Amino acid sequence: MPLLEKLHPALENGHPDVVQWRRYLHQHPELSFQEQHTPLFIAEKLRSYGIEVREAVGGKGVVGTLKGGLPGLTIGLRADFDALPIQDEKDTEYRSTVDGVMHACGHDGHTAALLGTARVLSGIREQLHGTVVFLFQHAEEKPPGGAKFMIEDGCLDGVDYVYGAHLATDMPVGKAGLCEGYMMAAVDAFEIRIIGKGGHGARPEQTVDAIVIGSELVGKLQQIVSRRISPMKQAVVSVGVFQAGNAFNVIASEARIEGTVRSFDAAIRKQIEAEIRLIVQGLCEASHCQYELHYLNGYPALFNPREQTALMRKLIEETNGDDAFVEAEAAMGAEDFAYYLLERPGAYFRVGAHNDSEHTKYPHHHPKFDFDEQALFETQKLFLAIIGHYLIK
């Protein structure tokens, strides 16, 4: 595609700016639902390219609309921009300047890459057969997430297809991939408060021991997947918090248990919630104690449709070579881009982001997380390939 190929030098020329933007955002991270400066930064850049901007979408989101000179489809491209409550331990000039907050998942890179894509596309708007909608989303990291609220606020109105990318430090630069069907799990969370009767450790018959009841409950919860769910289905129930007691010779009156549930199949998701509620109710009644149960349905499972998955594979191979595509494995991690794919066809793909240096290979959410900034260029190329397929004739 001649026009598309001509855009790659523009990406190369603009790469230093994109790197600078990423590093600036990395130095000034903002937590989910607390983003103040980042949306203003994004909106200012988009307006400087002559792109129509809508702010405070669904809370903190920013939507840029680039109308082409010719009629056609409307394609959405999404980047998230929130950070994590993690102390940055990197020894770099662009490390976070905010104590206890850092971009440990590449969202700064997603945002910088999409801004670079928007700048290049704004230069050929008259040759575009359709419209590009740039979706800059807040609060991906914290349920209920920003995607749901942005969609409710109309960010997908008129959009025909929507695509999202995520940098991946477990994959080398130059590679990219995705998988058909379920790629990311649905995520739910539960909190259980067991209310018993405390007392002296030497007189257990006068108490209702919250620790014993809670311990039994943890074991029962582990039986949901092993004994209530078909081994042909995939699911996880994990307890991450068990808090009770404050003295060795005192039987605790209360215990608090928190955990997470991961699943792909919607029916299995509902079944696990029902099983948890049933187990808690039955065990607490049998143990003569009270309880409180709070259950949060988080992000749905992320599902890549067959047609758009095949298209992304084709675009990755055409852009970076036949050996560039990596068949991704479904993961129990969660991603609220799933909400977009419930509303519109599209795909979510991963872009390789590590090189031979160990500092680019730390996993996501690690305090030393970083990536090869060449991945910013690779992400932009794939965003352009998507727009080229749909809007450049």
Same domain, 223 and 366: no
Kindly indicate the confidence band of residue 213, based on its pLDDT and cuts at 50, 70 and 90: very high
The pLDDT of 304-328, averaged and rounded, is 97
Task: Give me the pLDDT at residue 242, please.
Answer: 98
The pLDDT of 82-89, averaged and rounded, is 98
pLDDT tens digit sequence for 243-278: 999 999 999 999 999 999 999 999 999 999 999 999
Binding-site positions for Mn(2+): 105, 107, 141, 166, 365
Residues with a known catalytic role: 82, 140
- Cα 98 to Cα 103: distance, rounded to the nearest angstrom: 10
> What's phi and psi for 166, nearest 5 deg?
-140, 125
Beta strand pairing call for 176-178 and 325-327: parallel
| Overall number of domains in the chain | 2
The helix or strand, by DSSP H or E, that contains position 339, with its residue range, turns out to be helix 338-343
Q: How far is CA 147 from the centre of its chain?
A: 10
- Cα 237 to Cα 95: distance, rounded to the nearest angstrom: 35
The pLDDT of 180-205, averaged and rounded, is 97
Partners of 290 in beta bridges: 195
Domain residues for 206?
Answer: 186-297
Alpha carbon distances (Å) from 207 to 213, 252, 264: 12, 9, 41
- Cα 17 to Cα 183: distance, rounded to the nearest angstrom: 32
Same domain, 122 and 85: yes
Same domain, 118 and 59: yes
- Cα 158 to Cα 356: distance, rounded to the nearest angstrom: 43
Report which of 192, 291, 191, 194 is spatially closest to residue 251, judged by C-alpha positions: 194
Task: Give me the pLDDT at residue 216, please.
Answer: 98
Residue 1 pLDDT greater than 60, yes or no: no
Same domain, 31 and 85: yes
Same domain, 18 and 92: yes
Same domain, 174 and 223: no
CATH of the domain at 271: 3.30.70.360
Among 276, 297, 318, identify where a domain stops. Answer: 297
Indicate the SS3 state at residue 356.
coil
pLDDT tens digit sequence for 222-249: 999 999 999 999 999 999 999 999 999 9
Same domain, 58 and 178: yes
Same domain, 218 and 119: no
CATH of the domain at 125: 3.40.630.10
Same domain, 174 and 308: yes
Same domain, 170 and 207: no
Binding-site positions: 105, 107, 141, 166, 365
Among 297, 318, 343, identify where a domain stops. Answer: 297
Same domain, 141 and 277: no
Among 297, 316, 341, identify where a domain stops. Answer: 297
Same domain, 26 and 142: yes
The pLDDT of 184-201, averaged and rounded, is 97
Question: Mean pLDDT for the chain?
Answer: 97
Under the phi-then-psi rule, with left for phi > 0, alpha for psi from -120 to 50, and beta for the rest, what region is 330? beta
Spatial neighbors of 15 by CB under 8 A, at least 6 apart, are 116, 376, 377
Spatial neighbors of 108 by CB under 8 A, at least 6 apart, are 22, 25, 26, 29, 81, 83
Partners of 250 in beta bridges: 200
